[in-house]
Chains A and B, each alone.
Chain A
Amino acid sequence: MIGYVILSQSGQPINYYIQLMQRIRLLKDKIISKLMLLFTILSVSLVFIIGIGLYYKSIPVLQNSTWGHLLTSSVWKPLKGLFGFYPYIMGTLWVTGIAIIIALPLCVLTSLYIVEYAHSRVRRILMPFVNLLSGIPPVIFGVWGVLFIIPLIQDHIAPHFVEFSTGYSVLAGGIVLAVMIFPLIVSILNEVLRTMPQELKDASLALGATKWETIKKVILRKALPGIIAATVLAISRAFGETIAVLMVCGNNAVVPHSVFDAGYPLPALIANNYGDMMSIPLYDSALMFAALLLFIIILLFNIISRIILSRLERKMAA
Protein backbone atom coordinates (compact mmCIF):
# COMPACT_ATOMS: atom_id res chain seq x y z
CA MET A 1 0.00 0.00 0.00
CA ILE A 2 2.75 2.41 1.01
CA GLY A 3 4.83 1.46 -1.99
CA TYR A 4 1.88 2.24 -4.18
CA VAL A 5 1.46 5.70 -2.75
CA ILE A 6 5.13 6.64 -3.10
CA LEU A 7 5.32 5.42 -6.64
CA SER A 8 2.17 7.18 -7.66
CA GLN A 9 3.64 10.48 -6.52
CA SER A 10 6.71 10.05 -8.67
CA GLY A 11 4.60 9.85 -11.79
CA GLN A 12 6.37 7.76 -14.38
CA PRO A 13 7.03 4.34 -12.74
CA ILE A 14 3.45 3.92 -11.63
CA ASN A 15 2.20 2.72 -15.00
CA TYR A 16 4.78 0.02 -15.15
CA TYR A 17 4.06 -1.08 -11.57
CA ILE A 18 0.30 -1.25 -12.07
CA GLN A 19 0.71 -3.15 -15.31
CA LEU A 20 2.94 -5.65 -13.61
CA MET A 21 0.46 -6.14 -10.78
CA GLN A 22 -2.31 -6.52 -13.31
CA ARG A 23 -0.39 -9.21 -15.19
CA ILE A 24 0.34 -11.12 -12.01
CA ARG A 25 -3.32 -11.01 -11.03
CA LEU A 26 -4.45 -12.33 -14.39
CA LEU A 27 -1.77 -14.99 -14.32
CA LYS A 28 -2.88 -16.14 -10.87
CA ASP A 29 -6.43 -16.27 -12.12
CA LYS A 30 -5.42 -18.49 -15.03
CA ILE A 31 -3.21 -20.79 -12.97
CA ILE A 32 -5.90 -21.33 -10.35
CA SER A 33 -8.57 -22.23 -12.89
CA LYS A 34 -6.19 -24.60 -14.71
CA LEU A 35 -5.26 -26.20 -11.40
CA MET A 36 -8.90 -26.79 -10.55
CA LEU A 37 -9.48 -28.37 -13.94
CA LEU A 38 -6.47 -30.61 -13.42
CA PHE A 39 -7.72 -31.88 -10.07
CA THR A 40 -11.19 -32.43 -11.44
CA ILE A 41 -9.83 -34.48 -14.33
CA LEU A 42 -7.65 -36.39 -11.88
CA SER A 43 -10.53 -37.38 -9.62
CA VAL A 44 -12.77 -38.27 -12.55
CA SER A 45 -10.10 -40.42 -14.18
CA LEU A 46 -9.52 -42.12 -10.84
CA VAL A 47 -12.95 -43.71 -11.24
CA PHE A 48 -11.93 -45.15 -14.60
CA ILE A 49 -8.53 -46.24 -13.35
CA ILE A 50 -10.11 -48.16 -10.47
CA GLY A 51 -12.70 -49.73 -12.76
CA ILE A 52 -10.10 -50.80 -15.33
CA GLY A 53 -7.79 -52.09 -12.61
CA LEU A 54 -10.51 -54.23 -11.08
CA TYR A 55 -11.49 -55.58 -14.47
CA TYR A 56 -7.88 -56.42 -15.30
CA LYS A 57 -7.50 -58.36 -12.06
CA SER A 58 -10.79 -60.20 -12.69
CA ILE A 59 -9.73 -61.53 -16.09
CA PRO A 60 -8.50 -64.93 -14.79
CA VAL A 61 -11.82 -65.80 -13.19
CA LEU A 62 -13.68 -64.47 -16.21
CA GLN A 63 -11.62 -66.69 -18.52
CA ASN A 64 -12.48 -69.67 -16.38
CA SER A 65 -16.20 -68.94 -16.55
CA THR A 66 -18.67 -66.54 -18.11
CA TRP A 67 -20.32 -63.34 -16.87
CA GLY A 68 -23.72 -64.99 -16.99
CA HIS A 69 -22.58 -67.96 -14.98
CA LEU A 70 -20.73 -65.91 -12.39
CA LEU A 71 -23.75 -63.68 -11.85
CA THR A 72 -26.45 -66.34 -11.68
CA SER A 73 -24.79 -69.36 -10.11
CA SER A 74 -25.18 -70.04 -6.40
CA VAL A 75 -22.41 -72.62 -6.23
CA TRP A 76 -19.37 -71.41 -4.33
CA LYS A 77 -16.66 -74.06 -4.40
CA PRO A 78 -13.34 -72.25 -4.69
CA LEU A 79 -11.30 -75.46 -4.57
CA LYS A 80 -13.07 -76.68 -7.69
CA GLY A 81 -12.81 -73.26 -9.26
CA LEU A 82 -16.56 -72.65 -9.02
CA PHE A 83 -17.53 -69.13 -8.09
CA GLY A 84 -21.24 -68.24 -8.06
CA PHE A 85 -21.89 -64.70 -6.95
CA TYR A 86 -25.67 -64.75 -6.96
CA PRO A 87 -26.09 -65.17 -3.17
CA TYR A 88 -23.66 -62.32 -2.51
CA ILE A 89 -25.39 -60.01 -4.93
CA MET A 90 -28.73 -60.82 -3.37
CA GLY A 91 -27.26 -60.39 0.13
CA THR A 92 -26.07 -56.92 -0.84
CA LEU A 93 -29.42 -55.96 -2.33
CA TRP A 94 -31.41 -57.27 0.64
CA VAL A 95 -29.37 -55.53 3.28
CA THR A 96 -29.28 -52.25 1.37
CA GLY A 97 -32.98 -52.44 0.52
CA ILE A 98 -33.98 -53.10 4.12
CA ALA A 99 -31.76 -50.26 5.31
CA ILE A 100 -33.39 -47.77 2.95
CA ILE A 101 -36.92 -48.92 3.75
CA ILE A 102 -36.22 -48.39 7.43
CA ALA A 103 -34.14 -45.24 7.16
CA LEU A 104 -36.04 -43.17 4.62
CA PRO A 105 -39.34 -42.61 6.45
CA LEU A 106 -37.50 -42.04 9.72
CA CYS A 107 -35.18 -39.55 8.10
CA VAL A 108 -37.96 -37.62 6.40
CA LEU A 109 -39.96 -37.38 9.63
CA THR A 110 -36.88 -36.42 11.64
CA SER A 111 -35.85 -33.64 9.28
CA LEU A 112 -39.41 -32.37 9.07
CA TYR A 113 -39.48 -32.24 12.84
CA ILE A 114 -36.10 -30.55 13.11
CA VAL A 115 -36.74 -27.97 10.41
CA GLU A 116 -40.46 -27.35 10.60
CA TYR A 117 -41.57 -28.07 14.13
CA ALA A 118 -38.71 -27.98 16.62
CA HIS A 119 -38.07 -24.79 18.53
CA SER A 120 -34.82 -23.18 17.43
CA ARG A 121 -33.27 -24.04 20.79
CA VAL A 122 -34.19 -27.72 20.40
CA ARG A 123 -32.82 -27.63 16.87
CA ARG A 124 -29.51 -26.29 18.06
CA ILE A 125 -29.24 -29.19 20.48
CA LEU A 126 -30.42 -31.88 18.07
CA MET A 127 -28.21 -31.13 15.10
CA PRO A 128 -24.85 -31.79 16.81
CA PHE A 129 -26.20 -35.16 17.93
CA VAL A 130 -27.12 -36.12 14.40
CA ASN A 131 -23.68 -35.05 13.23
CA LEU A 132 -22.05 -36.95 16.07
CA LEU A 133 -23.77 -40.09 14.88
CA SER A 134 -22.00 -39.76 11.53
CA GLY A 135 -18.64 -39.58 13.26
CA ILE A 136 -18.98 -42.89 15.12
CA PRO A 137 -16.70 -45.56 13.61
CA PRO A 138 -18.56 -48.42 11.85
CA VAL A 139 -17.10 -51.07 14.14
CA ILE A 140 -18.94 -49.52 17.08
CA PHE A 141 -22.21 -49.79 15.19
CA GLY A 142 -21.30 -53.43 14.60
CA VAL A 143 -20.77 -54.06 18.29
CA TRP A 144 -24.01 -52.27 19.10
CA GLY A 145 -25.75 -54.46 16.56
CA VAL A 146 -24.36 -57.63 18.06
CA LEU A 147 -25.18 -56.58 21.63
CA PHE A 148 -28.64 -55.12 21.09
CA ILE A 149 -30.10 -55.75 17.68
CA ILE A 150 -29.25 -59.45 17.42
CA PRO A 151 -30.90 -60.37 20.76
CA LEU A 152 -33.82 -58.09 19.95
CA ILE A 153 -34.47 -59.89 16.68
CA GLN A 154 -33.76 -63.34 18.09
CA ASP A 155 -35.97 -63.04 21.17
CA HIS A 156 -38.61 -60.45 20.37
CA ILE A 157 -39.12 -59.88 16.68
CA ALA A 158 -38.37 -63.13 14.87
CA PRO A 159 -40.50 -65.41 17.12
CA HIS A 160 -43.62 -63.60 15.88
CA PHE A 161 -42.86 -64.54 12.30
CA VAL A 162 -40.59 -67.57 12.01
CA GLU A 163 -39.85 -70.66 14.06
CA PHE A 164 -36.21 -69.99 14.66
CA SER A 165 -33.70 -67.27 13.94
CA THR A 166 -30.28 -66.71 15.42
CA GLY A 167 -30.82 -63.01 14.99
CA TYR A 168 -27.87 -62.82 12.62
CA SER A 169 -29.80 -61.83 9.55
CA VAL A 170 -30.19 -59.39 6.69
CA LEU A 171 -32.67 -57.58 8.92
CA ALA A 172 -29.97 -57.00 11.53
CA GLY A 173 -27.63 -55.81 8.79
CA GLY A 174 -30.36 -53.54 7.43
CA ILE A 175 -31.12 -52.02 10.82
CA VAL A 176 -27.48 -51.32 11.61
CA LEU A 177 -26.96 -49.90 8.15
CA ALA A 178 -30.10 -47.76 8.48
CA VAL A 179 -28.72 -46.18 11.65
CA MET A 180 -25.41 -45.58 9.93
CA ILE A 181 -26.84 -43.77 6.90
CA PHE A 182 -29.38 -41.88 8.99
CA PRO A 183 -27.18 -38.82 9.73
CA LEU A 184 -26.15 -38.45 6.09
CA ILE A 185 -29.73 -38.44 4.83
CA VAL A 186 -30.96 -36.22 7.64
CA SER A 187 -28.30 -33.59 7.14
CA ILE A 188 -28.96 -33.39 3.41
CA LEU A 189 -32.73 -33.30 3.94
CA ASN A 190 -32.34 -30.58 6.55
CA GLU A 191 -30.52 -28.49 4.00
CA VAL A 192 -33.20 -29.20 1.38
CA LEU A 193 -36.03 -28.27 3.73
CA ARG A 194 -34.27 -25.29 5.22
CA THR A 195 -33.86 -23.68 1.82
CA MET A 196 -37.56 -24.04 1.00
CA PRO A 197 -38.82 -20.45 0.58
CA GLN A 198 -41.00 -19.26 3.46
CA GLU A 199 -43.19 -17.49 0.91
CA LEU A 200 -44.10 -20.82 -0.67
CA LYS A 201 -45.26 -22.16 2.66
CA ASP A 202 -47.07 -18.88 3.33
CA ALA A 203 -48.83 -19.18 -0.03
CA SER A 204 -50.28 -22.51 1.00
CA LEU A 205 -51.09 -21.44 4.55
CA ALA A 206 -52.74 -18.26 3.28
CA LEU A 207 -55.18 -20.43 1.33
CA GLY A 208 -56.33 -21.94 4.59
CA ALA A 209 -54.22 -25.09 4.46
CA THR A 210 -53.01 -26.51 7.74
CA LYS A 211 -49.34 -26.94 8.39
CA TRP A 212 -49.51 -30.67 7.77
CA GLU A 213 -51.39 -30.18 4.50
CA THR A 214 -48.75 -27.67 3.47
CA ILE A 215 -45.95 -30.09 4.28
CA LYS A 216 -47.60 -33.02 2.56
CA LYS A 217 -48.79 -31.33 -0.60
CA VAL A 218 -46.28 -28.58 -1.14
CA ILE A 219 -43.06 -29.00 0.79
CA LEU A 220 -42.51 -32.72 0.30
CA ARG A 221 -43.44 -32.41 -3.32
CA LYS A 222 -41.01 -29.60 -3.91
CA ALA A 223 -38.38 -31.47 -1.91
CA LEU A 224 -38.78 -34.71 -3.85
CA PRO A 225 -35.69 -34.30 -6.04
CA GLY A 226 -33.68 -33.49 -2.93
CA ILE A 227 -35.05 -36.51 -1.09
CA ILE A 228 -34.14 -38.74 -4.01
CA ALA A 229 -30.66 -37.26 -4.25
CA ALA A 230 -30.08 -37.82 -0.53
CA THR A 231 -31.30 -41.38 -0.81
CA VAL A 232 -29.03 -42.08 -3.77
CA LEU A 233 -26.02 -40.85 -1.86
CA ALA A 234 -26.98 -42.89 1.17
CA ILE A 235 -27.58 -46.06 -0.85
CA SER A 236 -24.26 -45.70 -2.63
CA ARG A 237 -22.63 -45.56 0.75
CA ALA A 238 -24.73 -48.41 2.09
CA PHE A 239 -23.77 -50.76 -0.75
CA GLY A 240 -20.16 -50.62 0.28
CA GLU A 241 -20.52 -50.52 4.06
CA THR A 242 -18.55 -53.48 5.35
CA ILE A 243 -17.49 -54.00 8.93
CA ALA A 244 -20.70 -53.22 10.81
CA VAL A 245 -22.77 -55.25 8.40
CA LEU A 246 -20.55 -58.30 8.30
CA MET A 247 -20.64 -58.42 12.11
CA VAL A 248 -24.40 -58.88 12.23
CA CYS A 249 -25.71 -60.41 9.03
CA GLY A 250 -24.60 -64.00 9.47
CA ASN A 251 -22.32 -64.28 6.46
CA ASN A 252 -23.95 -67.37 5.11
CA ALA A 253 -23.65 -67.68 1.36
CA VAL A 254 -27.25 -68.49 0.60
CA VAL A 255 -29.86 -66.41 -1.13
CA PRO A 256 -32.03 -64.85 1.61
CA HIS A 257 -35.74 -65.56 1.33
CA SER A 258 -36.93 -63.63 4.35
CA VAL A 259 -35.59 -60.75 6.40
CA PHE A 260 -34.68 -63.24 9.15
CA ASP A 261 -32.38 -65.24 6.90
CA ALA A 262 -28.68 -64.72 7.07
CA GLY A 263 -27.04 -63.06 4.10
CA TYR A 264 -23.56 -62.48 2.80
CA PRO A 265 -23.08 -59.12 1.09
CA LEU A 266 -20.23 -58.56 -1.37
CA PRO A 267 -18.14 -56.24 0.82
CA ALA A 268 -18.27 -58.80 3.65
CA LEU A 269 -17.10 -61.51 1.25
CA ILE A 270 -14.10 -59.44 0.25
CA ALA A 271 -13.20 -58.33 3.75
CA ASN A 272 -13.61 -61.78 5.32
CA ASN A 273 -11.46 -63.61 2.81
CA TYR A 274 -8.94 -61.23 1.42
CA GLY A 275 -5.49 -62.35 2.41
CA ASP A 276 -6.58 -65.61 3.97
CA MET A 277 -7.45 -67.90 1.11
CA MET A 278 -5.09 -66.54 -1.45
CA SER A 279 -3.31 -69.86 -1.91
CA ILE A 280 -6.36 -71.22 -3.72
CA PRO A 281 -5.99 -70.56 -7.43
CA LEU A 282 -8.31 -67.95 -8.89
CA TYR A 283 -9.51 -66.94 -5.43
CA ASP A 284 -7.92 -63.49 -5.47
CA SER A 285 -9.24 -62.95 -8.96
CA ALA A 286 -12.71 -63.95 -7.73
CA LEU A 287 -12.52 -61.41 -4.92
CA MET A 288 -11.43 -58.76 -7.40
CA PHE A 289 -14.45 -59.69 -9.44
CA ALA A 290 -16.59 -59.21 -6.33
CA ALA A 291 -15.12 -55.74 -5.99
CA LEU A 292 -15.77 -55.11 -9.67
CA LEU A 293 -19.39 -56.17 -9.20
CA LEU A 294 -19.80 -53.80 -6.28
CA PHE A 295 -18.25 -51.06 -8.34
CA ILE A 296 -20.60 -51.74 -11.25
CA ILE A 297 -23.67 -51.92 -8.99
CA ILE A 298 -22.89 -48.53 -7.50
CA LEU A 299 -22.08 -47.04 -10.89
CA LEU A 300 -25.27 -48.38 -12.49
CA PHE A 301 -27.30 -47.29 -9.54
CA ASN A 302 -25.93 -43.76 -9.75
CA ILE A 303 -26.52 -43.56 -13.48
CA ILE A 304 -30.10 -44.78 -13.13
CA SER A 305 -30.87 -42.35 -10.35
CA ARG A 306 -29.33 -39.50 -12.35
CA ILE A 307 -31.72 -40.34 -15.14
CA ILE A 308 -34.68 -40.51 -12.77
CA LEU A 309 -33.71 -37.20 -11.19
CA SER A 310 -33.36 -35.36 -14.47
CA ARG A 311 -36.66 -36.84 -15.68
CA LEU A 312 -38.29 -35.67 -12.49
CA GLU A 313 -36.82 -32.21 -12.75
CA ARG A 314 -37.96 -31.96 -16.32
CA LYS A 315 -41.41 -33.14 -15.34
CA MET A 316 -41.62 -30.61 -12.54
CA ALA A 317 -40.54 -27.87 -14.88
CA ALA A 318 -42.81 -29.06 -17.67
Chain B
Amino acid sequence: MTKDKAHISVQDLNVHIGGNHILKDLNIDIPNKSVTSIIGPSGCGKTTLLKTFNRLHDTAADVKVTGKVLVDGEDIYDPNTEITHIRKKMGLLSQRPYPLPMSIYDNVAYGPRIHGTRKKQDLDIIVEKQLKATALWNEVKDRLHSSATRLSIGQQQRLCLARGLAVGPEIILGDESTSALDPVSTSIIEDLFVKLKQDYSIVLVTHILRQAARVSDYIIFVYDGRIVEYGKTEQVLRNPREELTKEYVKGYIV
Protein backbone atom coordinates (compact mmCIF):
# COMPACT_ATOMS: atom_id res chain seq x y z
CA MET B 1 0.00 0.00 0.00
CA THR B 2 1.79 3.03 -1.16
CA LYS B 3 0.35 6.31 -0.20
CA ASP B 4 -0.41 7.59 -3.69
CA LYS B 5 -2.69 4.64 -4.31
CA ALA B 6 -4.83 5.35 -1.27
CA HIS B 7 -8.39 6.12 -2.20
CA ILE B 8 -9.57 7.16 1.21
CA SER B 9 -7.03 8.52 3.59
CA VAL B 10 -7.99 9.06 7.21
CA GLN B 11 -5.74 11.31 9.25
CA ASP B 12 -5.95 11.91 13.01
CA LEU B 13 -9.66 11.24 12.96
CA ASN B 14 -11.58 11.72 16.20
CA VAL B 15 -15.32 11.42 16.57
CA HIS B 16 -17.33 12.44 19.60
CA ILE B 17 -21.01 11.62 19.89
CA GLY B 18 -22.89 13.45 22.59
CA GLY B 19 -19.70 13.96 24.60
CA ASN B 20 -18.52 10.35 24.27
CA HIS B 21 -15.23 9.78 22.55
CA ILE B 22 -16.21 7.13 19.98
CA LEU B 23 -13.32 7.07 17.48
CA LYS B 24 -9.85 7.82 18.77
CA ASP B 25 -6.93 9.09 16.70
CA LEU B 26 -7.49 6.98 13.61
CA ASN B 27 -5.02 6.92 10.73
CA ILE B 28 -5.72 4.67 7.78
CA ASP B 29 -5.08 4.57 4.05
CA ILE B 30 -7.70 2.56 2.23
CA PRO B 31 -6.36 1.29 -1.07
CA ASN B 32 -7.88 1.73 -4.48
CA LYS B 33 -9.75 -1.09 -6.26
CA SER B 34 -9.72 -3.62 -3.48
CA VAL B 35 -12.02 -4.83 -0.76
CA THR B 36 -11.20 -3.65 2.74
CA SER B 37 -13.12 -5.11 5.66
CA ILE B 38 -13.60 -3.40 8.97
CA ILE B 39 -14.08 -5.96 11.72
CA GLY B 40 -14.47 -5.70 15.45
CA PRO B 41 -16.88 -6.38 18.29
CA SER B 42 -20.24 -4.69 18.22
CA GLY B 43 -20.19 -1.15 19.55
CA CYS B 44 -16.52 -0.62 18.74
CA GLY B 45 -17.29 2.13 16.21
CA LYS B 46 -17.39 0.41 12.82
CA THR B 47 -20.60 2.06 11.66
CA THR B 48 -19.45 5.39 13.00
CA LEU B 49 -16.23 5.10 11.02
CA LEU B 50 -18.03 4.17 7.83
CA LYS B 51 -20.39 7.11 8.20
CA THR B 52 -17.48 9.55 8.44
CA PHE B 53 -16.50 8.55 4.90
CA ASN B 54 -19.56 10.12 3.33
CA ARG B 55 -20.35 12.56 6.08
CA LEU B 56 -23.61 10.98 7.09
CA HIS B 57 -22.97 12.28 10.58
CA ASP B 58 -23.92 15.71 9.31
CA THR B 59 -27.56 14.91 9.93
CA ALA B 60 -27.00 14.29 13.64
CA ALA B 61 -26.77 17.35 15.84
CA ASP B 62 -24.48 16.06 18.56
CA VAL B 63 -21.70 14.48 16.52
CA LYS B 64 -18.32 16.19 16.38
CA VAL B 65 -15.74 15.08 13.84
CA THR B 66 -12.15 16.33 13.87
CA GLY B 67 -9.20 15.36 11.71
CA LYS B 68 -9.08 14.78 8.02
CA VAL B 69 -10.68 12.35 5.62
CA LEU B 70 -9.17 12.65 2.15
CA VAL B 71 -10.99 11.13 -0.79
CA ASP B 72 -8.90 11.31 -3.95
CA GLY B 73 -6.75 13.76 -2.06
CA GLU B 74 -9.65 16.09 -1.31
CA ASP B 75 -10.50 16.79 2.33
CA ILE B 76 -14.19 16.03 2.60
CA TYR B 77 -14.51 17.89 5.90
CA ASP B 78 -13.19 21.08 4.38
CA PRO B 79 -16.02 23.62 4.65
CA ASN B 80 -15.59 24.40 0.96
CA THR B 81 -16.18 20.83 -0.10
CA GLU B 82 -19.60 20.28 -1.53
CA ILE B 83 -21.21 17.42 0.27
CA THR B 84 -23.48 16.09 -2.47
CA HIS B 85 -20.43 15.79 -4.70
CA ILE B 86 -18.64 13.66 -2.08
CA ARG B 87 -21.63 11.46 -1.48
CA LYS B 88 -22.12 10.90 -5.18
CA LYS B 89 -18.68 9.32 -5.21
CA MET B 90 -19.80 6.64 -2.77
CA GLY B 91 -22.52 4.06 -2.86
CA LEU B 92 -23.85 3.08 0.54
CA LEU B 93 -25.31 -0.31 1.31
CA SER B 94 -26.78 -0.34 4.78
CA GLN B 95 -27.49 -3.17 7.18
CA ARG B 96 -31.04 -3.67 6.02
CA PRO B 97 -32.29 -2.66 2.59
CA TYR B 98 -34.19 0.61 2.54
CA PRO B 99 -35.82 0.88 -0.88
CA LEU B 100 -37.20 4.32 -1.58
CA PRO B 101 -41.01 4.49 -1.62
CA MET B 102 -41.31 4.24 -5.40
CA SER B 103 -41.02 1.71 -8.21
CA ILE B 104 -38.03 -0.49 -8.91
CA TYR B 105 -37.19 1.60 -11.95
CA ASP B 106 -37.50 4.88 -10.07
CA ASN B 107 -35.29 3.59 -7.29
CA VAL B 108 -32.42 3.05 -9.68
CA ALA B 109 -33.18 6.23 -11.63
CA TYR B 110 -33.44 8.31 -8.45
CA GLY B 111 -29.76 9.25 -8.22
CA PRO B 112 -29.17 9.90 -11.94
CA ARG B 113 -32.30 12.07 -12.07
CA ILE B 114 -31.10 14.15 -9.16
CA HIS B 115 -27.75 14.65 -10.84
CA GLY B 116 -29.36 15.84 -14.02
CA THR B 117 -30.07 12.86 -16.26
CA ARG B 118 -33.54 13.55 -17.61
CA LYS B 119 -33.87 11.72 -20.93
CA LYS B 120 -35.82 8.52 -20.75
CA GLN B 121 -33.49 6.59 -23.08
CA ASP B 122 -30.49 7.50 -20.93
CA LEU B 123 -32.28 6.46 -17.76
CA ASP B 124 -33.45 3.23 -19.38
CA ILE B 125 -29.87 2.37 -20.23
CA ILE B 126 -28.61 3.10 -16.72
CA VAL B 127 -31.41 1.14 -15.06
CA GLU B 128 -30.88 -1.90 -17.23
CA LYS B 129 -27.13 -1.79 -16.85
CA GLN B 130 -27.14 -1.57 -13.06
CA LEU B 131 -29.89 -4.12 -12.60
CA LYS B 132 -27.80 -6.47 -14.73
CA ALA B 133 -24.68 -5.63 -12.74
CA THR B 134 -26.46 -6.70 -9.57
CA ALA B 135 -27.93 -9.84 -11.16
CA LEU B 136 -31.45 -8.53 -10.69
CA TRP B 137 -32.47 -7.77 -14.26
CA ASN B 138 -33.89 -11.17 -15.12
CA GLU B 139 -35.92 -11.29 -11.94
CA VAL B 140 -37.52 -7.86 -12.28
CA LYS B 141 -37.47 -6.85 -15.92
CA ASP B 142 -41.20 -7.55 -16.30
CA ARG B 143 -42.23 -5.50 -13.31
CA LEU B 144 -39.92 -2.52 -13.34
CA HIS B 145 -42.76 -0.19 -12.52
CA SER B 146 -44.15 -2.02 -9.54
CA SER B 147 -43.21 -0.98 -6.03
CA ALA B 148 -39.76 -1.90 -4.77
CA THR B 149 -41.11 -2.96 -1.40
CA ARG B 150 -42.70 -6.01 -3.01
CA LEU B 151 -39.29 -7.58 -3.65
CA SER B 152 -37.76 -10.09 -1.28
CA ILE B 153 -35.24 -8.74 1.19
CA GLY B 154 -32.36 -10.19 -0.81
CA GLN B 155 -33.66 -8.62 -4.01
CA GLN B 156 -34.22 -5.33 -2.22
CA GLN B 157 -30.61 -5.30 -1.05
CA ARG B 158 -29.38 -5.89 -4.59
CA LEU B 159 -31.71 -3.14 -5.77
CA CYS B 160 -30.15 -0.82 -3.21
CA LEU B 161 -26.73 -1.74 -4.56
CA ALA B 162 -27.91 -1.06 -8.11
CA ARG B 163 -29.34 2.25 -6.95
CA GLY B 164 -25.98 3.18 -5.45
CA LEU B 165 -24.03 2.13 -8.55
CA ALA B 166 -26.34 4.15 -10.79
CA VAL B 167 -24.83 7.47 -9.73
CA GLY B 168 -21.43 6.28 -10.90
CA PRO B 169 -19.57 6.10 -7.60
CA GLU B 170 -15.93 5.17 -7.16
CA ILE B 171 -16.32 3.70 -3.72
CA ILE B 172 -18.85 1.29 -2.24
CA LEU B 173 -19.47 1.36 1.48
CA GLY B 174 -21.25 -1.61 3.01
CA ASP B 175 -22.37 -1.78 6.63
CA GLU B 176 -23.04 -5.41 7.51
CA SER B 177 -24.92 -5.46 4.26
CA THR B 178 -25.69 -9.15 4.34
CA SER B 179 -26.69 -9.51 7.98
CA ALA B 180 -30.41 -9.46 7.20
CA LEU B 181 -30.13 -11.76 4.21
CA ASP B 182 -30.58 -15.47 3.65
CA PRO B 183 -27.50 -17.51 2.70
CA VAL B 184 -28.27 -17.50 -1.04
CA SER B 185 -28.70 -13.73 -1.23
CA THR B 186 -25.65 -13.32 0.96
CA SER B 187 -23.48 -15.25 -1.41
CA ILE B 188 -24.86 -13.35 -4.41
CA ILE B 189 -23.95 -10.07 -2.72
CA GLU B 190 -20.52 -11.38 -1.70
CA ASP B 191 -19.79 -12.50 -5.25
CA LEU B 192 -20.87 -9.09 -6.47
CA PHE B 193 -18.41 -7.39 -4.17
CA VAL B 194 -15.57 -9.52 -5.45
CA LYS B 195 -16.58 -8.80 -9.03
CA LEU B 196 -17.12 -5.09 -8.45
CA LYS B 197 -13.70 -4.50 -6.94
CA GLN B 198 -12.25 -4.35 -10.44
CA ASP B 199 -13.97 -1.02 -10.88
CA TYR B 200 -14.60 0.18 -7.36
CA SER B 201 -12.88 0.54 -4.03
CA ILE B 202 -14.98 -1.32 -1.50
CA VAL B 203 -15.10 -0.86 2.26
CA LEU B 204 -17.18 -3.35 4.19
CA VAL B 205 -18.11 -3.49 7.80
CA THR B 206 -18.73 -7.05 8.84
CA HIS B 207 -18.93 -9.05 12.00
CA ILE B 208 -18.57 -12.32 10.14
CA LEU B 209 -14.90 -13.31 9.98
CA ARG B 210 -15.58 -15.89 7.30
CA GLN B 211 -17.10 -13.22 5.15
CA ALA B 212 -14.11 -10.97 5.66
CA ALA B 213 -11.92 -13.89 4.66
CA ARG B 214 -13.99 -14.66 1.59
CA VAL B 215 -14.22 -11.22 0.07
CA SER B 216 -11.58 -8.89 1.41
CA ASP B 217 -8.01 -8.10 0.50
CA TYR B 218 -7.34 -6.11 3.64
CA ILE B 219 -8.72 -6.15 7.14
CA ILE B 220 -8.92 -3.37 9.67
CA PHE B 221 -9.52 -4.55 13.20
CA VAL B 222 -11.14 -1.93 15.38
CA TYR B 223 -11.48 -2.26 19.11
CA ASP B 224 -13.00 0.34 21.41
CA GLY B 225 -12.67 3.12 18.88
CA ARG B 226 -9.04 2.45 17.99
CA ILE B 227 -7.43 0.65 15.11
CA VAL B 228 -5.65 -2.31 16.62
CA GLU B 229 -4.40 -3.95 13.48
CA TYR B 230 -4.49 -3.33 9.77
CA GLY B 231 -3.05 -5.62 7.17
CA LYS B 232 -3.64 -8.17 4.45
CA THR B 233 -6.55 -10.49 5.12
CA GLU B 234 -4.36 -13.60 5.33
CA GLN B 235 -2.01 -12.02 7.78
CA VAL B 236 -4.61 -10.53 10.12
CA LEU B 237 -6.66 -13.69 10.30
CA ARG B 238 -3.83 -16.23 10.43
CA ASN B 239 -0.94 -14.42 11.98
CA PRO B 240 -2.31 -11.52 13.98
CA ARG B 241 0.43 -9.35 15.45
CA GLU B 242 -1.58 -7.97 18.35
CA GLU B 243 -2.87 -9.83 21.37
CA LEU B 244 -6.33 -8.26 21.04
CA THR B 245 -6.60 -9.38 17.44
CA LYS B 246 -5.50 -12.89 18.36
CA GLU B 247 -8.20 -12.99 20.98
CA TYR B 248 -10.84 -11.77 18.54
CA VAL B 249 -10.00 -14.04 15.60
CA LYS B 250 -9.48 -17.06 17.80
CA GLY B 251 -12.87 -18.42 16.85
CA TYR B 252 -11.98 -18.29 13.18
CA ILE B 253 -10.89 -21.61 11.76
CA VAL B 254 -9.83 -21.70 8.15
Contacts and interface: CB of A to CB of B under 8 A. Distances in A.
B36 to A, nearest CB: 18
Given A203-B100, A206-B56, A208-B114, A119 B61 contact: yes
Size class of the A contact interface (CB-based, 8 Å): 20 to 34
A207 B59 contact: no
Given A201-B59, A317-B147, A206 B85 contact: no
A20 to B, nearest CB: 45
A206 B90 contact: yes
Interface stretch (B124-132, B160-168, B183-191, B238-246): B160-168
Contacts of A197: 98
A236 interface: no
The interface centre, meaning the residue of A203, A210, A316 with most chain B CB atoms within 10 A of its CB, is: A203
A218 B87 CA distance: 17
A316 B101 CA distance: 7
B87 A207 contact: yes
B88 interface: yes
Nearest to A120: B61
Contacts of A205: 56, 59, 87
B232 to A, nearest CB: 29
B92 A208 contact: no
The interface centre, meaning the residue of A204, A206, A217, A222 with most chain B CB atoms within 10 A of its CB, is: A206
Contact of A203 (B59, B85, B92, B114): B92
A163 interface: no
A318 B147 contact: yes
Contacts of A222: 101
A207 B163 contact: yes
A221 B91 CA distance: 23
Contact of B114 (A199, A207, A316, A318): A207
Interface string A196-233: 01111111111111100100011001100000000000
B210 to A, nearest CB: 25
Contact of A200 (B98, B114, B147): B98
A204 B91 CA distance: 11
A199 B54 CA distance: 14
A209 B102 CA distance: 16
B110 interface: yes
Nearest to A203: B98
Nearest to B100: A218
A199 B87 contact: no
A135 B39 CA distance: 53
A317 B149 contact: yes
Contacts of A318: 146-147, 150
B211 interface: no
Nearest to A221: B101
Nearest to B173: A206
Nearest to A208: B88
B101 A213 contact: no
Contacts of A213: 114
B161 to A, nearest CB: 11
Contact of A199 (B61, B84, B88, B98): B98
A157 B88 CA distance: 48
Contacts of B92: 202-203, 206
A206 B110 contact: no
A192 to B, nearest CB: 13
A221 B147 CA distance: 13
B114 A209 contact: yes
B56 A204 contact: no
Contacts of B91: 206-207
Contacts of A201: 59
Interface string B196-228: 000000000000000000000000000000000
Contacts of B100: 200, 203-204, 217-218
Given A119-B61, A203-B94, 7 more contacts: A202-B59, A202-B94, A203-B160, A209-B114, A217-B100, A221-B102, A316-B149
27 contacts: A119-B61, A197-B98, A199-B96, A201-B59, A202-B59, A202-B92, A203-B92, A203-B98, A205-B56, A205-B87, A206-B87, A206-B164, A207-B87, A207-B88, A207-B91, A207-B167, A208-B85, A208-B88, A208-B111, A208-B114, A208-B167, A209-B110, A209-B114, A213-B114, A217-B110, A221-B102, A317-B147
CB-based closest 9 A-B pairs? A208-B88, A206-B92, A207-B111, A222-B101, A208-B84, A208-B87, A203-B98, A200-B98, A199-B98
